Amino acid sequence: MLAWKLPNGQLRQVEEGSCLLPLALSIQDKFKSPIVEGVFNGEAVDLQKPLYTDGTVDFIEVNTAEGMRTYTRTLLFMLLAACYKLYPDVDLEVRNTLGSALYCLDKSSIKLTPENIKAIEAYMKQMAAAKELITLKRFAKSEAMGKTSRLRTPDSEALLDELPDDATLTVYYLQDMPGYFFGAMCPNAGYVPNFELLPYDDGVIINYPDTGDWTQLPPFVDQPRLNDAYQEAEEWSAMIQCNTIGKLNNIISLGYADKIIQVAEALHEKKLAGIADMIAARKNELKLILIAGPSSSGKTSTAQRLSIQMAVNGLRPMPISMDDYYLNRVDTPRKADGSYDFECLEAIDLELFNEHLQKLLAGEKIKLPKYNFRTGCREYRGNELQMTDNSVLVVEGIHGLNEKLTASIPAANKMKLYVSALTPMSFDAYNRIHTTDVRLLRRIVRDSQFRSHDAEATLALWKDVREGEEKYIFPFQCSADVIFNTTLIYELAVLKKYAVPLLEAVQPKSGRAYMTARRLLNMLYYVKQIDDNAMPNNSILREFVGGSIFKDAF
């Protein structure tokens, strides 16, 4: 018999090979939303996975970021199973998220019609109503590869080749459809009743609830510019045969890592030069560039490199730090718990900021403030600023896309640039890599390199960071005039060297931080590591791993 310690401290005796599902069902009434995943000895586990050791037990409910990943993964499996049943010739590939929706590309020659998509949705709804079981079975690696032959591709085979021959793999079944997924599934289709399918572009959208309220299905809000940025990255990476981890690993194994680094960096330079050309073409009216994006998107390096390209075109970029326009700390708005809310728009002195922008655009001279983060007060140290005919103000900050920040400046005089790491990389057609995971790895490495924070500290803050992004950045990304994708298709292979020892140092006692660390380690396990010596010193990735040529504002 095994001894399991429950979240309330109670001990339960269970037989070897038991799973967490019966226990989860017995205490479901203690949770506000359905339990969709377990936590055993600090690691996330499927509720149906057999366990063979003593341990501590906890649970993940659907109204969490991790729980919603399980919800979405289950919906995807239901979609694939429904397509297999109704339209077996359809070939879907998971692409990217658009808000609370997942876009899947239809790669088949016979494209799904709106009527087909409605029929698939109806079949999935029947699955949910019938609570169709999703079963978990464990097989030896060689046997598992045979069980999933229909879903196996060269990309998935390349990943499985990274596993030892004696590895045991989890295969899921929904009706007669097998699936191999990186992560847990809900025990049955009845756990995911709220969703809709919508025709979109060359495929289908799965619209699902936002994190935090699994019972409500928000209306799908199209973000065509963002989707175009994703698809451009997908098509480019596929064109150069490096859109999956398996292909990247093969390039590394063949000794071409330096080449893929050079190609990826050249794309960044080309894109930034193109944006600078757009600015130069409007130099008579365009005088303000606003750069915003979520955490660890590479905004600082983007601003520096764009400024260089603007200078090539004869412009004079003039940086302004939005941080210097913080209200004095005593005047800063507070959160509900009484702590200062430095991320809200109202923490900025909007009146002074707009007054200075108007004066600068009128050719007047201003006295630049400098915020003293030690004292929490704005100071004036004699620095002045005045624009010339070829000057362009460059402002980087969290609220750059919010029109309220620069309400006094006409649209013709400003360009809003949204910066984010929209990775096109995936493991295979059904297991994508989350953009948020790439940014989190960047932040973990950067915080260790430059801020003396260990991975546990970064992971502990990540939830608050993500909430700030959802509140202050993502609602305004559709208003961007230009999107710059800072992802580098090789970056996981570089980040691995720095991130793995940091993640391995996270202890089980850290709770959910440990769980996230183990998930990221499992992801990086499949990625071959490369040296970053070939990475140029102006690379956006240098902002995180170190060695960047950019030290001060341009």
pLDDT at residue number 140: 84
- For residue 273, give the H/E element and its range: helix 257-281
pLDDT at residue number 321: 86
In this structure, CATH architecture of domain 2-61:
Roll (3.10)
What b-and-e string marks burial along 269-285, b requiring 16 or more CB atoms within 10 Å of the CB?
eebbbebbeebbeebee
pLDDT at residue number 63: 94
Strand ranges (E), 75-227: 92-97, 101-106, 134-140, 168-174, 177-179, 196-200, 203-207
List pLDDT tens digits, range 76-124.
999 999 999 999 999 999 998 888 899 999 998 888 999 999 999 999 9
pLDDT at residue number 331: 92
Q: Do 66-222 and 2-61 have the same topology in CATH? A: no
CATH superfamily of 66-222: Threonyl-trna Synthetase; Chain A, domain 2 (3.30.980.10)
pLDDT at residue number 554: 41
pLDDT at residue number 403: 94
d(C-alpha 50, C-alpha 492), whole Å? 31
d(C-alpha 518, C-alpha 27), whole Å? 26
d(C-alpha 436, C-alpha 423), whole Å? 9
pLDDT at residue number 553: 44
Which tokens hold the place of 121? 């949705």
Enumerate the domain spans of the chain.
2-61, 66-222, 229-314+399-545
Please, which contacts does 15-24 make with residues 24 or more away whose CB atoms are closer than 8 Å?
16/52, 17/50, 17/51, 17/52, 18/50, 18/51, 19/46, 19/47, 19/48, 19/49, 19/50, 19/51, 20/45, 20/47, 20/49, 20/51, 20/57, 20/59, 21/47, 21/48, 21/187, 23/57, 24/59
Name residues of the chain where pLDDT drops below 50: 553-554
Residues with Cβ within 8 Å of residue 51, at least 6 apart in sequence: 2, 17, 18, 19, 20, 40, 45
Which tokens hold the place of 524? 């990086």
d(C-alpha 401, C-alpha 471), whole Å? 12
d(C-alpha 510, C-alpha 24), whole Å? 22
pLDDT at residue number 349: 94
